[in-house]
Structure 1
Amino acid sequence: MKIVIFGGSGLIGDGFIQESLRADDVTEVVAVGRTPLDLTHPKLRHVVHTDFLDFTAISDELAGADACFWALGVSAVGMSPHDYERVTHDYTVAAARTLGAGNPALTFVYVSGGGTDSSERGRSRWARVKGRTENAILAAFPNGYALRPGFVRPVHGKQSRTPMYRRFTAALPAIAWLVRLLRLTPVVMTSTAQLGQVALQLTRRGHPRHVLENRDIVAVAAAAGRP
């Protein structure tokens, strides 16, 4: 399989890359970004691209892809509505348009997040924009999926750029007993490894649900042997 990954420099994108590189049935991983990743591997190829509203210039690099894992995203905090929508929705749809033209049967796995508003009518602006992006991907690809993780625990050594996430990760060993006691893990928590495995499983076998909440993500990962 040839996998194209956007957002590989982030926490979830790194999980996609690491799990894809480990998979025997993945022959090539194409990481698209503004700068190359600080990572080398025989399967990994870096494609540097700066115009995320138009991917036609690298359409040949994307051709033949079996799947796209989209982990590119930003926080809405401190961003103007226009800029947030451009990065969250417009970038994603532009890439989907180019990839879909080359392979309409491609599996497109889009990472949104818990609380995403697929009705596009709720009060939260970020949730509406994420919901609109989900809906665009699911309408464009029969094999399109949206993942809505809660808190994502790093597994491969990558750390989140968000201070709150880093503080919570550092505190996990101290509160692990409480998480287990309350059985919250499948509801609110997953890991970068699980997300990578789920994206690969969706590419290999599909899933009856096209929007997977955190509990669904954990269940699919467990079935794939990644608890």
Structure 2
Amino acid sequence: MSLCLPTGSEKRAHVLDQCMVLFFVALTMIVLAFFCFIGAGLTYGMSDVGISWVVPTAFLLLAIGLHLVARYIAVTIGGWGMMRRIVKIAQDESDSFLTDCDNKSILMVHVENAQTYDKRKMHLEDACLLSLEPGRIVMEGARYRYVIYAKDVQAISQITHKKTKPACISYQIGEVTLDLSLLERKRKSIIKLILTHRVKQSSEDLVARLKESLHHKPAVMSYT
């Protein structure tokens, strides 16, 4: 039978809490960058009142620097740094469902309730390591661990959203149906991170891999 169990690991939960603190730090830096852009605009062309071009240029460079550092903190330190710490913790736990945490085929996914995916939230529901195995999916998260068998899966589809389109998997645990949204977080180099302004990600590849692993027929369920 498929499972969804709390990890019971305070260390993993603590890592997720630390990640949320980093995200708020990054958000604060983005707000400061916004005000620096405003400062650059207000001081531009004010040489007649004694403000030279150095001041708006300094504001502009500071704004760009704050923005890039904020993105680096949120994505690289907060995102992938968090997952590296969870991997290390899972390796030391004897009850971990993942037998090989260093396997390069293991994916990093953000997991949320598919029914409330489009709702604004102040916290990340869960971040998991996902392993695609023949006939089942295993996920070890900061808060929960999941085992999903092919026989319990009702549908696999993709959620329609403005920027991101996560995969959705609906499966049964006994008489209860659980709908999860899965958004893969692919690691980017610092250069790609700088050049990429917005994240518009489709999960068509992830949906295909989920179906292949579970030998699932095309789904008819969809969320809008």
Q: TM-score range by the shorter chain?
A: under 0.3
TM-score relative to the length of structure 2: 0.26
Q: Hey, which of these two has a bigger chunk of strand by percent?
A: 2
